[in-house]
Amino acid sequence: MKTRKIGDLEVSALGLGCMSMSSAYGPPADEGDMIRLMRTAHQQGVTLFDTAEAYGPFANEELVGRALAPIRGQVVIATKFGFDIDLQTGERRGGTNSRPEHVKAVAEACLRRLKTDRIDLFYQHRVDPDVPIEEVAGAVKDLIAAGKVGHFGLSEAGVQTIRRAHAVQKVTAVQSEYSLFWRGPETELLPVLQDLGIGFVPFSPLGAGFLTGKIDENTKFNASDFRNSVPRFSPEARKANFALVDLIRRIGDRKGATPAQIALSWLLAQKPWIVPIPGTTKQHGLEENLGAVDIHLLADDLAEIDTALAGIEVQGERLPEAALKMTGR
C-alpha cells in the first residue's frame, strides 16, 4: 500500500470509512465480520480508519476500538465531535454542540470507547453556528497540548471557517464529500487547502455506492438506509445519473478495472494530498477498493473523463435539504 501525507500526518493512500458497518446504510453488520474486515484491511496496508461518535451513536466507535486494540500502535484513528448527543444515553437532541466544555467531554468519552489514550485525528463533524470557530479550535488545541489529541480536522466546513480555525490551531485535514458524483470542492475548497497545506479526506468517494455500478433505478434500499431520503437517489435521478457509470465503465474496460476502481483512481489523481475513505462491509468490496491504488490513469484518460463530464449534468441534490444547510458554513 502506498502512503500519502495529509498535512504532516502520513497515512495509507486509501483509508477505510467505518460508518456503514454500524449505521446509515441499513441494519448493522455482524460485529465479528466487521472486526475481521478491519484487521484484514490493516494487513493489506490500510492505516487510516474513520469513525465518529454520531455513528450509532457510539456503536461504531466501540466497534472500531475493539477491532483495532491489538494493532493500535500501527494505525491512525480519526473520529468526530460536534453534534448535540447526550454522552450518557446516546440520545440525539438535535442540532450541533461544539461548546468547548462539550468538545472536551466528548474527547474523554471517545478515548474510552476507542480503547486508546490519544485520538489521532479529531474532526469537528459539522460547524456549529452558535460557537465561534476560534473557540472550537482553542478547545482542540488544549486537547493536543494535553496529549489527548494528535491532529485537528474539520468536516464539511466553508473556506473562511477553515482559515479562521487554522489561524488558532493548525488544521491537518478537511473531510467533505468529493467524487465524480459531487465535484463541488473543486471551485473553492481545494485551492484553499493547497494554499494552507491541509490534506483532504473525501467521504462518499464512490457516491454512496452509486459509482460501483451496482445500483440502478430498480434498486430497493432497506427502510433504514439514508439514501431513501436523498434526492440524488430517487429512481428518476438514478436512471439519469447512470451516464456517469457508463463513462467510468468504458474507461475501466480498457484498463481491466471496475467502475469503483476508476472512480477512486480518478480521485487519487486529482491531488497527492487527497486520501479517500471508501466504506464497505464486504471482503470483496475491500479488495476491489484497494486495487484502485494500482490503477494508473494517464493524462489522456483524465482528459477524456473531464470532457465527458462536461456533458453530464448530475440530477438531484447530494443530501436532503436539512442536511445541506449544515454544510459549507
> What secondary structure does DSSP assign to 238-269, as a single string?
HHHHHHHHHHHHHHHHHHT--HHHHHHHHHHH
- Do residues 238 and 216 touch, judged by C-beta distance below 8 A? yes
Q: How far is CA 158 from the centre of its chain?
A: 16
Please count the CA atoms within 13 angstroms of the CA of 156 that sit on its side-chain side.
17
Place of cell 451516464: 243
Considering only CA atoms, give the Rg of the chain: 19
Backbone phi and psi for residue 77, each to the nearest 5 degrees, phi listed first: -105, 125
Grid cell locating 89: 444515553
- Do residues 179 and 202 touch, judged by C-beta distance below 8 A? yes
DSSP-based three-state secondary structure for 308: helix
DSSP-based three-state secondary structure for 22: coil
Asked if 123 is an active-site residue, the reply is no
Grid cell locating 133: 470557530
For residue 238, give the nearest of 259, 211, 217 by alpha carbon. Answer: 217
- Do residues 76 and 45 touch, judged by C-beta distance below 8 A? no
Residue 259: cis peptide before it, omega within 30 degrees of 0: no
Active site residue ranges = 55
